[in-house]
Amino acid sequence: MTTKNSFSTETILPIVVILLSVLNISNHVHNLISISILNSLIGIIGSVLFFLKKANAVKLIYIWIIVQIVIIDPFFDLSQGLSFKLGFTLGLNNGDIGLNINVLAILMLGGVKILETASLVGKRLTLKKFRDGTLEDILPISGTITERISLENEKNWILVTLDGAFDYKTQKIHKVLIKRKDDKSIKLKEKNQITFLRLVLDEDDLINLSNKSKFPFIDWIICEKPSKQEPIL
C-alpha cells in the first residue's frame, strides 16, 4: 500500500536543478571553463544520482544551492540561469560593488529536507525505547523505510515496514510512521534521535492521509541505523 503523488513531490527540486543548470550552461556557452559551469555540472550530477538513488546526491544538490546564496557583483555570481536578488551597492573609487542575497536559492533550501527524507527510502533502521511506556516489551525492533509521506499537511513523515509484526491491543501492527521531534531530517548515522511513533492500524488508511487521528501516537522513541550484527527477521 502506497500513498499518491509522493514521487512527483520529491522530484520537483531535482528537475528544477537540472533545468536551471542547463539554462546556465547555455548562457555561458562561450565560456565553458568557469566556476559557474562547474556548479551547473555539480547540480546535474547530484540530481541524476538522486534519481538513481545513489549516495551523496543530496549533498551535491545542497552544494549547488548554497554557493548561489551570496552574490557579489561584479566579482562573484554562481546563480544558475535565474536569480532574485536583494541587497545594496557600495560606491567605491574603483567602481561599484553590489552585495546581494539570492532569495531564490534560499527558497530552494526548503526542498533539501524533502530530498534528505526521500533518499532514506529502502534503508533500514532500528526503533529503540526512549522511556518506559506501552512498547517497552516490544522495542527494539527493526524495519525498512518504505516511503516519505505528508500526514495531515505535516511533511516528511517516514513510513516504516517492520521486520516482524507486533500486537497492539487486538491488532497486528506491520507498519509505523515516524518523524523527528525537532522536525529535522532523520540521519541514520546519528545517535539518540527522538522521534514520534504513530501506528498504522489499517493500511487502507494510507490512501488518505488527511486525518492524523487514524494513526494514533503511542510514544516517543529513539531511531538509528541497525548494528551490523543485528539479524533480519
Domain assignment present for residue 230? The answer is no
Asked whether residue 2 carries a pLDDT value surpassing 80, the answer given is no
Whether 1 has a pLDDT exceeding 60, the answer reads no
Q: Per-residue pLDDT averaged across 36-47, rounded?
A: 96
Q: Is 65 domain-assigned?
A: yes
Same structural domain, 216 and 183: yes
Q: Three cell numbers at 105?
A: 536559492
Shared-domain flag, residues 54 and 157: no
Secondary-structure breakdown of the chain: helix, strand, coil percentages, each rounded to the nearest 5: 30, 35, 35
Please identify, among 95, 118, 141, the residue that sits at the C-terminal boundary of a domain.
Answer: 118
25's grid cell: 550552461
The boundaries of the domain holding residue 23 are 6-118
Asked if 200 contacts 177 with a C-beta cutoff of 8 angstroms, the reply is yes
Residues 137 and 174 in one domain: yes
Residues 114 and 130 in one domain: no
Residues 21 and 69 in one domain: yes
My answer on whether 102 and 52 are in the same domain is yes
Q: How far from the centroid of its chain's Cα atoms is residue 79's Cα?
A: 22
Give the model confidence (pLDDT) of 90-139 as tens digits: 766 666 788 999 999 999 998 998 999 988 999 999 999 888 877 778 88
Q: Which residues pair with 100 in a beta bridge?
A: 71, 87
Separation between Cα atoms, residue 164 and residue 144, nearest integer Å: 11
Same domain, 41 and 113: yes
Tens of pLDDT, residue by residue over 151-177, are 988 888 999 999 999 988 888 999 999
pLDDT in tens, 173-184: 999 999 999 888
Question: Is there a contact between 175 and 202 (Cβ–Cβ < 8 Å)?
Answer: no
pLDDT at 30 over 80: no
Question: Do 97 and 154 belong together in one domain?
Answer: no
- Is 65 in a helix, a strand, or coil? helix
Q: Do 217 and 132 lie in a common domain?
A: yes
Q: ω into residue 74 within 30 of 0, thus cis?
A: yes
What is residue 133's predicted lDDT score, i.e. its pLDDT? 75
Say how many C-beta atoms besides its own lie within 10 A of residue 36's C-beta.
20
> pTM for the whole thing?
0.80
End of a domain among 118, 149, 178? 118
Cell triple for residue 13?
A: 527540486
Domain boundary among 100, 118, 136: 118
**pLDDT at position 233, please?**
41
Domain total of the chain:
2
Task: State yes or no: pLDDT of 6 exceeds 60.
Answer: no
Task: Look at residue 144 and tell me if it is in a domain.
Answer: yes
Whether residue 15 is contained in a domain is answered as yes
Q: Mean pLDDT across the stretch 15-35?
A: 89
Average pLDDT over residues 61-65: 97
